[in-house]
Amino acid sequence: MSPRNFAFREIPSPDAGLLEVVIAGLNQEPKRLPCSLLYDEAGSRLFDAICDTDEYYITRTEVALLERHGPQIAEWIGPASVVVELGAGNLQKARLLLQHFPSPVTYVPVDISKEHLRQSALEFAEALNHVKVQAICADFHQADAIRSVLPLEGRRVLFFPGSTIGNLEPDEALQFLRQSQQILGNKGMVLVGVDLKKDASILNAAYNDAAGITALFETNILVRLKRELGAALDPQSFVYKGFYNEPLGRVEMYLVSLREQTVRIGPRQFPFKTGERIHLENSYKYSVSEFQALAAKAGLLPLDTWVDADRLFSLHLLECQAPR
């Protein structure tokens, strides 16, 4: 039995299927696969495990910022709001935030990992019964479809924590911030977590945890291709490599082929040389002023910015400049 304050919807993705996406990516030079494919059920759980490693400072730092400044954020946003979270994951951060919000408040977590989302959203609705939870299983780029299912009343706030925005190229991030305002409307706000530029040694450790969970998370994409597409490949014949590319201000994540081999998916063949890579992720890092400049270009002005004492992570509250 679902609690009264809980609803779940699925917006079917108009995007190409898994097979088409994988073929298109592996036909590119250099080969690549979209990082959204990392988050199947196993991948979502492995990502949660990364967040618990000592080296991955991002989650605990952002959580501490939300705990510390939650009441102030709630005050900025005001009552009767609609909080939309894109790429919601395990909803832990929204819990920290929304516990400070007065009733009534609507929370709309959006995520592509269906059962993981359903389970976390249910637990959320049971734990915070003053919040109306309306979960949507969808790709977070489907702004139109998401907007069409939102309640009409109340200030809309887009919550985009975890530095997920770092996965986008800066010009894509700009596009995304522009488009997000279509969801928001008049007086809308964006609360976004952004990982800061910092010493390479801290970043390299964060993306190469000693327990090897990051490597498992990235390699899981191959396990998924085997299982869901019947791909003929040995996941053990690839190793994970992740490092900070300082000039480009981003951590780059790859799978590297340990030998010359051919990966087969149905009738298709993808030859690999020894050392040839599949590019899986970029994770861009921004200084506070770099990110504020990007947001301003998208028409979003800073209301407030919070940074931890070690200057590891930033939380930006932005407001739509002009009513749309």
Residue 81 vs 167, nearer CB to ligand AVJ: 167
Which segments within the chain are labelled E, that is strand? 6-10, 31-32, 82-86, 105-111, 131-137, 156-160, 189-195, 238-245, 250-257, 261-265, 268-272, 277-284, 300-307, 313-320
- Locate 28 and state its tokens: 């590119």
Give the nearer residue to ligand AVJ in terms of CB position, either 281 or 319: 281
CB of 19 to ligand AVJ, least distance (A): 24
Neighbours of 170 (CB within 10 A): 18
Q: From the CB of 218, what's the least distance to ligand AVJ, in Å?
A: 7
Q: At closest approach, how far in Å is the CB of 320 from ligand AVJ? A: 24
Residue 38 backbone phi and psi in degrees, to 5:
-70, -20
Decide whether 237 or 282 has the Cβ nearer to ligand AVJ: 282
Question: In this structure, are residues 161 and 90 in contact, taking their beta carbons and an 8 Å threshold?
Answer: no
Closest CB to ligand AVJ belongs to which residue? 283
Residue placing its CB nearer to ligand AVJ in the complex, 162 or 188: 162
Closest to ligand AVJ by CB, 55 vs 319, is 55
- Shortest approach of ligand AVJ to residue 305 CB, angstroms? 19
* C-alpha pair distances (Å), 241 with each of 126, 216, 218, 271, 293: 40, 11, 9, 20, 31
CB nearer ligand AVJ, residue 109 or residue 188: 109
Residue 33: name the closest of 276, 254, 275 by CA. Answer: 254
Q: Can you give the binding site for ligand AVJ, defined by CB under 6 A?
A: 50, 58, 162-164, 166-167, 207, 214, 281, 283
Q: Minimum Å distance from CB 176 to ligand AVJ?
A: 13
Cα separation, 313 vs 324, whole angstroms = 30
Q: How far apart are CA 110 and CA 277, in angstroms?
A: 31
Query: Least separation, in Å, of the C-beta of 239 and ligand AVJ?
Result: 15
Phi, psi of 26 (to 5 degrees): -75, -15
